[in-house]
Structure 1
Amino acid sequence: MKKLLFGILALGFMSSCNSDNVTNQNENPSNGADASVNLAGKRECPSEEIRKVALQNNPELRQKFNVLEANTEKFANELKLGKVLADGTVEIPVVVNVIYKTAAENVSDARIAEQIAVLNADYGGTNTDASNIPTEFQTVKADDVKVRFKLVNTIRKSTSKTSWGTNDAMKKASTGGLDATTPTNYLNIWVVGKMTSQGRTILGYATFPESAGLWNDGVVIAAPFFGKTGASAPFNLGRTATHEVGHYLNLRHIWGDANCGNDLVADTPTQTTANYNKPSYPLYNTCSGVSRSVMFMNYMDYVDDAAMFMFSAGQKTRMQAVVDASGSRAGLRVL
């Protein structure tokens, strides 16, 4: 288990930009996660990569990051001691910005409603596949994150663009996209067609809470992986949005984006790296000489949609910290 750390994380983000794919020969990798694996058709989320570059290049953002993590740890400690109480369920207003070239990319209102329903089920702990959580993780599962989502507007724009990258072009009208709707107060989700980066097919990416209120703040999802009806298997259960909104609410990838890394959550077992496809339980990793059963079914791993179905209690605390009245995303509470 891991303890919460934040003191030198900004430096760690900068120094690890080029080291995430280095294999530690003393550690045992997860199923299908070694460097030789062909990642075609597997989950790709560059949110942490984008964040590292932003933190490296922007001192003001690094300062916000440090404050964010200090406040998150303070909230977690005070919650544990009973000095603060979670503020109850927070309903986040959502604006969906659809930028499409083809009819298939112009996702329907019904499909958008379907995606919002998936988010509410996953964050509310009412997803039907929660019954698949292994017994050993039942004691640390988050029954209800106390976050809900309400669609307040859908904005559509036709484009001649056939592919998008991860440079936020879809977030600016001046570069063919749609400007965010008051990002301090709304979760903006951009749905675009094909999205690639360095030859990889990207399912989605998100900004983290230190970017709260900035022009590019929000979540991007490629249309083939948005919602359920008509989405592309094995990412056709709406879990790409669940994963990316997790980043938006300050969750890291469960392996900490490093070999046996730290996701800053004490109740998620340390694991060597990402898991893919649909692993069989139990799956064991060895880090620092300790063999552990890993929580590959967590929404913040890279498994297929059908293989992910839980947040942990520690992850719930991190998310509650940012939507708290004193948190980085308190502006989402005002409407």
Structure 2
Amino acid sequence: MKPLAAAALLAALVPAVPFGQSAPSASTGPSASTGHERRGDDCARPPAAPEARHRTDDGHARDRMDLSPAEAAAVETRLNRILDGLVQGGHGPSKSASLRRAAPITVPVYFHVIHAGAQGNVSNAMIQRQISTLNTSYGGGDGGANAHVSFTLKAVSRTDNAAWFGDPERYEGTYKPRLHQGGKSTLNLYSTYIGGDLLGWSTFPWKYKSDPTMDGVTIHYASMPGGSIENFNKGFSATHEVGHWLGLYHTFQDGCSGQGDRVADTPAERDPTNGCPSFKDTCPTPGEDPVHNYMDYGYDTCMTSFTPGQGTRIHNVWTAYRA
């Protein structure tokens, strides 16, 4: 956690409104409590083990690993148990069902702009470009597999709060419960300034039941399409983090050993990708590293695709946790 921003800064909280309309402002302020280490403190709860994509000094995009191999194995055991129960009960497709036969998923999106005056107050046009980028990414428009997932913008909220904007990790437990809209199948997407090298973070779908208002994705506003972060300004930070929100792991989960990202058509990968290499193969098993995959760490200019297997996994996880 970074140091607390000045507690005396005032906030203006604006409720979500239909896209394209103006919202009235309402004054409020951040809590003076500094008990952010206490999960029971709803004024400043820390994020619940988020995935965080960030850049190192060499421009390499990084994520804090959320799951150890043992944790991932436990998640998969529970996921398979849920899916097997649904199949046996006639309420869900087989885990190996063809992606082509999967019912399309349409995700309503509430987009929350957290800004400090003009800083980070992204335009409606930029928000629309981000939604379009998500639709292109998950629709196979860049040459990858069509995951049959689409996103529809329902409303935009704008919150002028310098404290939240200056330290969104610290205040995540404050702004999410106040701004969150919808249920488990609704994406709450937050844009704000993120210090250091962070580009964004997400929650996994299996975390929803235990903390529903914390569910969602946070991105650095300058990573959106046309933003100012060099090599990471095509909007694919949101694509990557939404992948986690839909249940995908990194392509290098478990490295060269174990069961990897639990997707058969993404070759095993020991090390995350830096930049956009023309060739990379870090594991002895067949297949080059999936350097162009949205769930790797390459530059936005390098990211082009999901695989059919990732699309199938998205639909399986959706059936288990978000349908």
Normalising by structure 1, we get a TM-score of: 0.68
Instruction: Work out which of the residue numbers 149, 152, 155 in structure 2 matches 1:153.
Output: 155
More helix by share: 1
- SS of corresponding position for 2:190: strand
C-alpha deviation, 1:321, in angstroms: 1.1
Query: Match of 2:301, SS?
Result: helix
Structure 1 residue 222: Cα displacement? 1.0
* Paired amino acid for 1:153: A
What displacement does 1:241 show? 0.6
Deviation of 1:71 (Å): 3.7
1:239–1:194 CA distance, 2 compared to 1 (3 A): same
Partner residue in 2 for 1:179: 179
Q: Is 1:329 the equivalent of 2:288?
A: no
Which residue of structure 2 lines up, in the alignment, with residue 97 of structure 1?
Answer: 112
- Pairing 1:121-200 to 2, within 5 Å after superposition: 121-127=136-142, 130=143, 142=145, 144-161=146-163, 163-164=166-167, 166=169, 169-173=171-175, 178-196=178-196
Structure 1 residues without counterparts, runs of 5 or longer: 1-16, 18-36, 57-61, 131-140, 331-335
1:68 maps to 79
The letter of the residue matching 2:149 is V
Paired AA for residue 273 in structure 1: D
Moved over 4 A (4+): 37-40, 62-66, 72-77, 84-87, 257-261
Q: Determine the structure 2 residue equivalent to 1:137.
A: none
Letter in 2 for 1:216: M
* Equivalent residue in structure 2 for 1:245, among 230, 242, 246: 242
Displacement of 1:124: 0.4
Q: Say if 2:107 and 2:149, in contact at 8 Å, map to a contact too.
A: yes
Q: Which amino acid aligns with 1:103?
A: A
Bigger RCO of structures 1 and 2 (CA < 8 A, at least 6 apart): 1
Partners of 1:254 and 1:263 within 8 A in 2:
yes
- What residue identity is the alignment partner of 2:78? V
**Do the aligned residues in 2 keep the contact of 1:187 with 1:218 (CA within 8 Å)?**
yes
Aligned to 1:13: none
2:291 aligned partner: 296
Matched, 1:270 2:268: yes
CA contact (8 A) 1:260 1:273 kept: no
CA shift, 1:42, in A, is 2.2
Deviation by residue 1:235-289 (Cα, 9 ceiling, x = unmatched) = 1111101100100011000000546561111111111110111111x322234xx
Distance 1:95 1:207 in 2: 16
1:79 Cα shift?
A: 4.9
Amino acid at match of 1:113: Q
Q: In the alignment, what sits opposite 1:41?
A: 59
Question: Structure 2: 5+ residue runs without aligned partners?
Answer: 1-48, 50-54
Task: Flag the 1:209–1:244 CA change in 2: closer, same or farther, 3 A.
Answer: same
Q: 1:224 aligns with which of 192, 214, 222?
A: 222
Figure out how many residues of one structure are paired with residues of the other and give that number. 260
Residue aligned with 2:201, SS: strand
Partner of residue 122, structure 2: 107
After superposition, the Cα gap between the structure-2 partners of 1:69 and 1:163, relative to the gap in structure 1 and judged at 3 Å, is farther
Write the deviation string for residues 130-178 of structure 1: whole angstroms up to 9, x where unpaired.
2xxxxxxxxxx52x101100000111101122532545x23524x9x84
Letter in 2 for 1:147: V
The 2-side partners of 1:178 and 1:81 are apart by 39
Cα offset, 1:85, TM superposition = 8.4
> Alignment partner of 2:283: what SS?
strand
DSSP 3-state at the match of 1:293: coil
The answer (yes or no) to whether the contact 1:257–1:273 under 8 Å persists in 2 is no
Distance 2:169 2:255 in 1: 21
Give the drift of 1:41.
Answer: 2.8
